[in-house]
Amino acid sequence: MKWQGKIIKWNDERGFGFVEPNGGGERAFVHIKSFKTRSRRPVDGDLIIYETTRDKSNRCQAVNIKFTKLVMKSKKRKVYNNGPKFGLVIVLCFCLLVLASTIMRKIPIFVMALYVVLSLITFIAYAIDKSAAQNDRWRTKENTLHMFSIIGGWPGAYFAQNKLRHKSSKSQFKAVYWITALLNVVFFIWLHTNDGQDLLNNLIESFGLF
């Protein structure tokens, strides 16, 4: 059974102390050699996750000890590593759809060019916002970033989130982002309908696009 507790009475010279379990319970002996990873030396107040065993004198001893913060970071990395894979499949499938539609002349080439340009602009907008966050400068509004996504820059936004590690851990932001992506995909599919084709033809005629 795993426990979580706080280190107390740590003697760094001798490399041992005790852990007081959260919520009360039996105090356990902690030795530096019982840490699974020794990224740093423990100090009083550190939160740890551990298991317990009994020594020859039947005293409670903590084993397989990990720092709680390191465990949480590891879980976040796993979520990050597993999360983007599904999103990457969606983005790549959409890009292939745009390319196939362009080759088959279902949509004019300027639509594909527009997606490329908007994605690049959106990526740059994310990069600027991350730099502003790191240097305590004026930030780009989240609604502005979502606007870039919904008008066609959502593939660039996806790569910015995962390559720059920006806005990738905010669940609420990511939820809105995928809604903007879905709306954009629906609009792109609509362009293949008769009404959508009429809109594209009118744009070509109005702006002289080829």
Q: CB–CB of 50/27 below 8 Å?
A: no
- In 3D space, the residue among 22, 17, 18 whose CA is nearest the CA of residue 2 turns out to be 22
What's this model's pTM, rounded to 2 decimal places? 0.61
Reported as type and span, the H/E element at residue 11 is: strand 2-11
Phi and psi at 67, nearest 5°, equal -70, 135
Alpha-carbon span 165 to 83, nearest angstrom: 13
Domain boundaries, the chain: 2-70, 105-207
Alpha-carbon span 171 to 180, nearest angstrom: 14
pLDDT of residue 70: 75
Can you tell me the mean pLDDT for 90-108? 95
Confidence of residue 73 (pLDDT cuts 50, 70, 90): low
pLDDT of residue 36: 83
pLDDT of residue 107: 93
pLDDT for residue 35 is more than 70: yes
pLDDT in tens, 115-126: 999 999 999 999
pLDDT of residue 198: 93
Question: How would CATH label the architecture of 2-70?
Answer: Beta Barrel (2.40)
Q: Compare 106 and 168 and report the one with higher pLDDT.
A: 106
Confidence of residue 84 (pLDDT cuts 50, 70, 90): low
